[in-house]
Amino acid sequence: MEVMTAAGVVEKEIEIPQSRLLQMLRCTVQNYDWGGIGENSEVAKLSSLNSKVEIEVDKNYAELWMGTHNSGPSFIVDSDNLTLKSWITENPSVLGDKVLEKWGTDLPFLFKVLSVAKALSIQAHPDKESAVKLHKSLPNLYKDDNHKPEMALALTEFEALCGFVNLEEIKGVIQSVPEIVELVGNVEEDQLLHVSEQDGEEKVKFVMQTIFTHLMSACKESVSKMVSKLKSRLIEAQKERQLSDKEQLVLRLETEYPGDIGVLSAFFLNYVKLNPGEALYLGANEPHAYIHGECVECMATSDNVVRAGLTSKLRDVPTLCSMLTYRQGYPDILPGVAVNQYITRYMPPFDEFEVDRCNLPEGEFTEFPAFLGPSLFVVTRGAAKIQVISADHREEKEVRRGDVFFVAAHAGIIVATTNMEGTGGLQLFRAGVNSRFLSEL
């Protein structure tokens, strides 16, 4: 039997037994120290509902992982600790031919919910070539050999640092933040102030890399002294003027990470504020740090992070400073594209993933047509009855807030809300392989 998929491609339907169309999942929570505490964390609430475990009031709940990564596996509900990865290995047809051919018996994406109460480290993720080298040389630190492009989709107002500000803004930083000049020296200051776009991209990149590396490599004692001077200066300045958003931010960062080089390096990075429903995507070798808020995140299946500031974890400053692109300018913000009146799609320029957001009012229904690849769904609000449909099979299931489930390739989903007063209808998110990749011939 032939079917028309969501990507508009006619393909022969693969026979998948009924029991393999949908699997409910029990997912792993990560308790990093930057996560929201107890009931203040959306991750805590969703994880508690997902795994039927009580929330610990004084515990940090940072990330809910949904996928097949070994550091945070998902498990098949009602099984004897069978992981999703093991189940897919036993049933590879659920991935679809194209996904199976390129990525093997694994999901190429990792899906998460994040609750950020305290700034994450200033970090970057290596490209594929660098990831292979880092994993080979330092496997205990870089735990896999994959790259990690990623996208954050805001659930609440979400703050982040992302990418370098443009050249003129950096010159303004050098002229207005004397503490940075004291660390990097007058030679680097003069070099930066006299470079221009007319000198060419490589020259600008060289100057940027030189001054940023010098800053990030400064000794701990000097950094602590300059951060203290910066703090005192800004506290005095706000008695006479309104501090800029970036100045207010660095004072916040200083309270979270006193004496840290990340407080000063934040001046070099774009300060981004996402509204709910907006998304930010990050390619390999781009510096960033999430600051505050709740988001849904999707990335290639990797946990490789190179850190250099705002963290108590191991820092690898030489690697980070050598791998960055030093690309400048404000990052692209994705508002999403309407699939229908209830579903919005966020499609970054990466093969591994895309994310759909579904907001469905009470008493309504909508449809996710069949995809050529697998999907993961998480329900963040309300409840619904779903029908999972392939060529010869139909499964029905009721899902509610906290539920996470896997849907096989070539299966479509019909979602209809169930009446739950006070929920404001259903909200769920889907992660799947990028439709552009799936539709390529």
Active-site positions read: 307
Asked whether residue 387 is marked as a ligand-binding residue, the answer is no
CB 116 within 8 A of CB 293: yes
Residue 288 among known ligand-binding residues: yes
Q: How many residues does the chain have?
A: 441
DSSP 330: P
- 205 touches 197 (CB < 8 A): no
123 annotated as a binding-site residue: yes
Q: Produce one character per residue of 110-121: b if its CB has 16 or more CB atoms within 10 Å, e if not.
A: bbbbbbbbbbbb
Other CB atoms within a 10 A radius of the CB of residue 12 amount to 11
Q: Is 410 annotated as a binding residue?
A: no
For 316-410, where are the E strands, in sequence order? 333-334, 337-338, 343-346, 354-360, 365-368, 375-381, 383-389, 394-400, 404-407
Helix (H, G, I), strand (E, B) or coil at 346: strand
Look at the block and give the residue holding tokens 């997902």. 50
Give the C-alpha separation, 66 to 137, whole Å. 28
Q: Where are the beta strands (DSSP E) in 31-138?
A: 36-37, 60-61, 63-66, 75-76, 109-116, 122-124
CA distance 70 to 271: 33
Classify residue 368 as exposed, middle or buried by CB count within 10 Å of its CB (0-12, 13-18, 19+): buried
The full DSSP string for 149-210 is -EEEEESS-EEEEEEEPPHHHHHHHHHH-HHHHHHH-HHHHHHHHH--GGG-HHHHHHHHHH
Name which of 178, 130, 167 is nearest 321 in CA terms: 130
H or E segment and range at residue 340:
none
3-state per-residue secondary structure call for 72-91? CCCEECCCCCCEHHHHHHHC
Annotated binding site: 123, 125, 150, 288
Annotated binding site for Zn(2+): 123, 125, 150, 288
